[in-house]
Structure 1
Amino acid sequence: MLRKKLIALSTIAVAGLVMGLSEEAFAQEAYRRQSATGCLPITASSLNVKNDSGAIGNGGSSTTMRLVCAVNDDSYLSKDLVRSILVDVYDGSTREAVDARACVTYMGSTGGACGPGAATSESGVGMEVLIPSPSVWEDNPYEYGFIVVTLPVLEAGRLPSSMHGYILMD
């Protein structure tokens, strides 16, 4: 009986050690995960904005929608150190693509710039992870960063194209 207790305790101790090491190793890579609920929908009518468990979608049947998502730029994860952007989207269109790209607004002047985007296929439908380039943030470290996601119009009989969130990693 004592032997079984010792084996059980040592198993728990080893599992705790392994969990602690993997958690520590994971914590060394800076990342930031954001829900789409923090994004601003740019659309002709607020009636076009659809929310499904935090995913923001385009319910409009005549115009595309843009979601503008702020990027926290701080000492934990400065945007110019971001090496990967993962944007979690649902493409509900059989005719248009969902597009995502990193952008900046210039500090102290008007205007801005966007980097190369990533898009779903125009005929594809389903969940996808888009990986736009963060190069515009690297090239403009002192400007205000954000992500723009363009969602196609809602097609009859289909679910709306939507964004679920994004992850930034160094």
Structure 2
Amino acid sequence: MQRQIALCIAMGFISILNAGDRPMDRNPDFEVTAGCKGQAPCIFDGRRIDFEISVRNVRDSSIHLPLEFIRYGGPYIVLHDNRTQRHLTLPSHMFDGALLSNLTVVAPGQSVSISASIDASYLEAWGGASADVTAVVELGAPLEGSTEFRLIGKTELRIVGSKAARRQG
């Protein structure tokens, strides 16, 4: 009897662990990408990293997106230092619920963009000109008249310091 209980507990625990392996970081209605203008990876030269996030509707029908709400609040960003495996969650802006009623119609195949940035101080602390960082960028918002946040998408943005970029190039 104790073995059966232990087996049930173990199987439940394994199913929880396996659930974490499933791709939970994507919304099938959107394709989300991010990049610095004309650079891959983004090059940190001591100034703030400015980048664009693109959200494309991959559905066969239009989507009503609270774009201004998302732009005002910005993305959720976690920095990962590729050399030391440290990570840091960056503070985000407060969301303005009044902007939820301002919906943008995104037609099938159409993309919209959101500007974002990472302050130079975070990258200076992680190596400055020698930095090698991956920024995990996630967008979420209440969709389809809901008040619950839903994931729109998640993507990665690689950032290297100017010295590290010269070594790679």
Q: Same fold (TM over 0.5)?
A: no
TM-score, normalised relative to structure 2: 0.38
TM-score, normalised relative to structure 1: 0.38
Larger radius of gyration: 1
